[in-house]
């Protein structure tokens, strides 16, 4: 574990100490927050995942803090990365709702099959007229089971529909709060939260952290020549390229207008320059076609900076990258300065 998590309750349990009523209340609060988060972020509740996320939320509850979802995910990365010098990846996010809904559907199907068997066996028994009186109690029991099954099926099917609706709602709310609706990238507020947390971790643990600021060159010309809808198509395409060519752990956001910010955990300045140069080449070789059939291309300029002893805040890191972006523009655009 690369990040020291505080969880005194688990320490007490491991040492065999008796838990107080306050400890029991905290455990309930930890479990409530953990389960809400697991459902909200579609995390598969395997025993290993459940144990790890309990540590995270125990730490959060005992410190009495209210981090954002992005900050919680970043805390997970810091705490459970296999190797701080290698590629750090989040656990694969599975759709817990789909798992639960699938289980409910199987349960409903099994209950319906059982109900059908009860009905068939009941009809067989009804055929024995001479002992019908003696079997009345059994038949009544079977009919009672069928009524209970019907009630249970109704409840489970209703719960399935509610889960599906909740899944849709949570997905919409999460997207609205953390993502730019045009490009699908992180929005500025979400990026700033991640930058703040990762900067602090980088300073405390001497963990490499680099920032790239990218700006599409002469983007105003695209809007003026082909219209703002065409400009939006360019932004969407650029967003897609950034998602596809960056690592899963890299954090990329649309900072504003035609400017993008990329946070690279575990990456030195030299490595970040190579990443920026790769992106610059990819964008330079893209071809776009306007609605009137005209083909055109774009370029972008990049400023790169890394956390070092001279940088004391996230704001200073951003300013350093922004200064290098300005230099790239002054030097003729379509280049990387770091």
Active site residues: 258
Residues facing 306 on adjacent strands: 210
What is the DSSP pairing of strand 336-337 with strand 300-306?
Answer: parallel
- Which are the contacts of 3, defined by CB distance < 8 A and separation ≥ 6? 75, 78, 79, 201, 205
SS3 content of the chain, % helix, strand, coil (to 5): 65, 10, 25
**E-assigned strand segments in the chain:** 209-216, 251-256, 259-265, 288-289, 295-296, 300-306, 336-337
- Which are the contacts of 65, defined by CB distance < 8 A and separation ≥ 6? none
Q: Which is nearest to 86 in space by CA: 265, 210, 333?
A: 265
Pair 284, 296: CB distance under 8 Å: no
**E-assigned strand segments in 154-294:** 209-216, 251-256, 259-265, 288-289
Q: How far apart are CA 336 and CA 147, in angstroms?
A: 72
End-to-end CA distance of the chain: 32
* Burial class of 151 by CB neighbour count within 10 A (0 to 12, 13 to 18, 19+): exposed
Given CA atoms 53, 58, 59, 64 in this order, what sign does their dihedral have?
Answer: positive
Q: Taking every pair of C-alpha atoms in the chain, what is the biggest distance, in angstroms?
A: 103
Tell me the DSSP string of 2-34. Answer: -S----HHHHHHHTTPPPPHHHHHHHHHHHHHH
Copy the structure tokens of residue 47: 């025993």
């Amino acid at each position: 574990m690369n990040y020291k998590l505080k969880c005194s309750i688990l320490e007490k349990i491991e040492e065999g100490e008796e838990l107080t009523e306050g400890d029991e209340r905290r455990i309930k609060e930890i479990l409530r927050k953990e389960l809400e988060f697991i459902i909200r972020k579609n995390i598969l509740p395997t025993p290993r995942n459940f144990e790890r996320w309990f540590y995270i939320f125990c730490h959060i509850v005992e410190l009495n803090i209210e981090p954002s979802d992005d900050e919680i995910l970043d805390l997970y990365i810091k705490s459970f990365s296999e190797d701080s010098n290698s590629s750090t990846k989040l656990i694969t996010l599975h759709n817990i709702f789909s798992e639960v809904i699938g289980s409910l559907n199987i349960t409903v199907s099994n209950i319906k099959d059982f109900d059908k068997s009860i009905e068939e066996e009941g009809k067989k028994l009804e055929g024995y007229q001479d002992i019908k009186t003696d079997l009345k109690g059994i038949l009544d029991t079977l009919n009672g089971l069928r009524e209970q099954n019907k009630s249970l099926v109704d409840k489970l099917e209703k719960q399935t529909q509610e889960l599906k609706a909740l899944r849709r709602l949570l997905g919409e709310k999460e997207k609205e709060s953390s993502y730019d609706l045009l490009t699908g990238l992180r929005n500025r507020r979400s990026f700033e939260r991640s930058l703040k947390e990762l900067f602090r971790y980088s300073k405390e643990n001497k963990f490499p952290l680099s920032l790239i600021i990218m700006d599409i060159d002469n983007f105003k010309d695209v809007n003026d020549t082909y219209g703002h809808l065409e400009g939006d198509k360019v932004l969407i395409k650029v967003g897609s390229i950034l998602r596809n060519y960056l690592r899963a752990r890299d954090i990329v956001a649309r900072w504003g207008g035609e400017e993008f910010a990329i946070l690279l955990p575990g990456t030195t300045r030299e490595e970040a320059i190579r990443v920026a140069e790769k992106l610059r080449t990819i964008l330079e070789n893209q071809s776009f076609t306007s609605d009137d059939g005209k083909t055109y291309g774009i370029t972008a300029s990049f400023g790169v900076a890394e956390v070092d002893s001279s940088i004391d805040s996230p704001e200073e890191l951003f300013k350093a990258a922004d200064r290098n972006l300005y230099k790239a523009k002054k030097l003729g655009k379509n280049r990387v300065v770091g």
